[in-house]
Chains A and B, each alone.
Chain A
């Protein structure tokens, strides 16, 4: 220290400041700092790179394969190159994902309401929270095996085995924890005063929750639900043993198409992507294109919803 001479009490053991306050670019710590800055920038670049590369590649390979026929025709038989369509898979994805949402949203929102509004504490609520966390960690292929054993193998659904409905159930199991969690967290953001206000004028809990609290939390819940649906739409593993696949249009005679094996975009990517036939591989890319565009759109929508709620 420079002030050492006039500083009798200090037992100085620090190296003298060599060059005053000037930045010394060769000091080890400054070299180390610059190296780490570079490394962090490099890591961030590597982290963003896959998104850019995958997205561009899918848009390029898949976008080129998009024709009007994609939406109106069926896929070709192996070895043929006509017709080039996957209308059945597009409808199938909508059916299976929509069915899953119809099952998972009421159950998930109801469960979330229970956790946030009815029983915040207590062993039962705790055990359900634990269950939600465990379910969120269950690998998606196991959801598929579970529904296979429960529904497909036992033919419990009107004697049918593989079906769109079974696929919906598998995806619903997958979506359930996300929806419970977002509902629970969304409701917790609602200020306590709002509840007190409603209860204070003599409203029942039912009215308080459904008319006051839930509307106040609708935007974070909607955000979570949109993201949950988008994720489910891209899931493959739970569907390969439940909804299976089908090269045909949905069999409307069989429970409005819900009780027959059904094609979905994600399973089509898997089935066709590993085939040795070029038309099939091309359809796999087209399906990837549609899925990726849909999922990116859903994410932007969710962001917009979140933004909407913030303002």
Chain B
């Protein structure tokens, strides 16, 4: 079911994730194409965030987390014994569902990441370009020295996007970045995604079908089933294809029901 992807930047090779004894997702095989936008869709609790967090080892922060299988980045196993998770996260950035600006000034929010990544250059310029690319420059150019928390929720989220792109990762992971935004801000973020696609690989989790159609090139549909020998639902990758195909010509019935809104 997985289309052959020539230029894969991240690949999952039979990934299974457990939280303690609880199996969250099972047997994921997935190739993320370079310089494209890949959308993850699926019902709540089916493991989209879990898979996404595997890509930059954010799951390391969860004590009960354990993983089997391989996640390859440029062919190198991210969970290999000698891999530095900090190095991984410098090359694979992340934007979270809830805006989480640092309790610092707007300027510092951007400069912080740049500085710890050894940025050498004009910081003012970097702050401005990053904020522009995240479509939030106009709203905060006059208050760069105010706290990032003084912005509205939607502006905070775009600040977080700016923060992520300022460190120039190769991949940006976005976990429902627009769930706290109004339609206007959502459109602005989507425009940002289009622009960013040229330079970055983007993986985005979304519950908004139109958004998936609008922004993504590829779509992965996850689902959860009651599996033998485990308590609760276990997530799996149900279908993965070009977005056009998923929405117009889905192979499985579940996918069709989900994308047309008749799911469950």
Q: Considering the complex, which residues of chain B in the window 167-199 have a beta carbon less than 8 Å from any beta carbon of chain A?
A: 167-168, 170, 198-199
Total interface residues in chain B, CB < 8 Å: 25
Known: A11-B121, A30-B84. 14 other contacts (CB 8 A): A1-B168, A9-B199, A10-B168, A11-B126, A13-B121, A14-B168, A17-B90, A17-B91, A20-B87, A21-B91, A22-B82, A22-B83, A22-B87, A23-B84
CB within 8 Å for A9 and B198 given contacts A14-B168, A20-B76, A21-B78: yes
- Report Cα–Cα, A102/B58, bound state, in Å: 54
CA distance A125 to B207 in the complex (A): 48
Question: In the assembled complex, which residues on chain B have CB atoms less than 8 Å from the CB atom of A1?
Answer: 91, 168, 170
Query: Contacting B199 at CB < 8 Å: which of A2, A7, A20, A30?
Result: A7
Among A21, A23, A24: residue with most chain B CB under 10 A: A21
Is residue A12 contacting chain B, with contact meaning CB distance below 8 A? yes
| Nearest CB on B from A57, distance (A) | 36
Contact assessment for A21 and B168 in the assembled complex, using a CB-CB cutoff below 8 Å: no
- CA of A23 to CA of B80, assembled, Å: 10
With contacts A3-B170, A7-B199, A11-B129 taken as known, whether A21 is within 8 angstroms of B73 at the C-beta atoms is yes
A21 x B118 contact (CB < 8 A): no
Is A50's CB within 8 Å of the partner chain B? no
- For residue A68, CB closer than 8 A to chain B, the reply is no
Residues of A1-55 at the interface with B, using a CB-CB cut-off of 8 Å, are 1-3, 7, 9-15, 17, 20-24, 29-30
In the complex, are the beta carbons of B82 and A13 less than 8 A apart? no
**Are the C-beta atoms of A23 and B87 separated by less than 8 Å?**
yes
CA distance in complex: A1, B119 (Å): 12
- Partner of A17 from the list B82, B87, B121, B198 (CB cut-off 8 Å) is B87
Question: A interface vs B, CB < 8 Å?
Answer: 1-3, 7, 9-15, 17, 20-24, 29-30
Interface of B is mostly: loop
Partner of B120, one of A15, A21, A23: A15
Question: Given the complex, which residues of B lie within 8 Å of A13, measured CB to CB?
Answer: 119-121, 126
Determine the chain A residues whose CB is within 8 A of the CB of B84 once the complex forms. Answer: 21-24, 30
Cβ-defined contact, B76 with A10, below 8 A: no
Nearest A residue (CB) for B118: A15
Q: B143-170 interface mask toward A, CB cutoff 8 Å, 1 = contact, 0 = none? A: 0000000000000000000000001101
